[in-house]
Structure 1
Amino acid sequence: MSKTIGRGYILAVISVSVLLIWLGIYKFTPTEAGLIEPLIRNHPLMAWIYNLLSVQQVSNVIGTIEIVVGLGLLLGLRHSLTGLASGVAASAIFLVTISFMATTPDTWKFSDGVLITNFFLLKDALFLAVSVMVIETNKSALACGISDKVRIWAKSA
């Protein structure tokens, strides 16, 4: 990585990675599979998946993706191209999760006169911000990664 990155960035990436991996592991339990089912069933772009896979299988797929992306974010601290790809994947995960606030019934309610939402979903706005920071920190890797591959290919030809 050509840029010097600060401790705050490293802490943010490690924190998001640990939570992704931890929640990804939890997706393999029947409890979490049941908890995320209403979110997915009510999402217009995701509900179809239950026509192909069981509730647990869907949760397992999502858990696997979360674990892989969490590990990728950690590897991305040393390998910019991996960081870039993982940042994009994490952003997609968190955008989908945030969209559940618009597609899941009873996600918003008034409590003591204050409109609130499911804070479990809302936390992903912060995770999205970290993912965008990862993309911005590693975006130069795309040009470097491609030029390195061309250079390596040209030497071997």
Structure 2
Amino acid sequence: MRKQLGSEIGVCGVVLILLWIGIFKFTPVEAHAIQRLVEYSPLMSWMYKVGSVQAVSNVIGIFEIITAFLLAISPFSKKIAFMGGLLGTVIFLTTLTFLLSTPGVFRIVDNVPVTDFFILKDIMALGICLQVLLDHWPEKRKITA
């Protein structure tokens, strides 16, 4: 029970973050705030070739909101939990690549390398989504003759 409670609180935290940030993606402020990260991403930069800065942000926001919804209702369905965990894993693996692909993302302050710390929360969120994904991984059915 205690382990399950901790997992559920973690999932609720990821749902809140994805929902909040997903909704914020529909604002010009957030669309421009993520532009630099997305345009240098080898996984996402192509999006600006097919859509405007706001349109790309909106698509990302929709993806985040759908994932939040799937994770929120994950206790009711193993398939939904699997999909929510999978989409969340994709989201947070992708955003963590920004640390590698965005020029100047690290800087030195008082001889300590620092970055935009908002991205670092994605390490915990990735772990929670991976846990949901692996806990609900489809099992192979045994074929009996």
TM-score, structure 1 normalization:
0.85
Corresponding residue for residue 12 of structure 1: 10
Pick aligned residue for 1:35 from 22, 33, 36: 33
Corresponding residue for residue 150 of structure 1: none
Verify the 8 A CA contact 2:19 2:64 in the aligned structure 1: yes
Q: CA RMSD in A?
A: 1.9
Verify the 8 A CA contact 2:37 2:102 in the aligned structure 1: yes
Gaps of 5+ in 2: none
Verify the 8 A CA contact 1:28 1:59 in the aligned structure 2: yes
Corresponding residue for residue 151 of structure 1: none
Verify the 8 A CA contact 2:43 2:94 in the aligned structure 1: no
Kindly indicate whether residue 84 of structure 2 is the aligned counterpart of residue 86 of structure 1. Answer: yes
Counting helix residues as a fraction of each chain, which structure ranks higher? 1
Corresponding residue for residue 74 of structure 1: 72
Corresponding residue for residue 131 of structure 1: 129
Q: Tell me the amino acid that sits aligned with residue 68 of structure 1.
A: I
Q: Tell me the amino acid that sits aligned with residue 91 of structure 1.
A: T
Following the alignment from structure 1 to structure 2, what is the Cα–Cα distance between the partners of residues 65 and 89? Answer: 8
Q: Radius of gyration: which is bigger?
A: 1
Gaps of 5+ in 1: 148-157
Pick aligned residue for 1:143 from 136, 139, 143: 139
Moved over 3 A (4+): none
Residue 109 of structure 1, CA deviation: 1.0
Aligned residue pairs, count: 142
- Cα 1:4/1:88, change in 2 over 3 Å: farther
Q: Tell me the amino acid that sits aligned with residue 120 of structure 2.
A: L
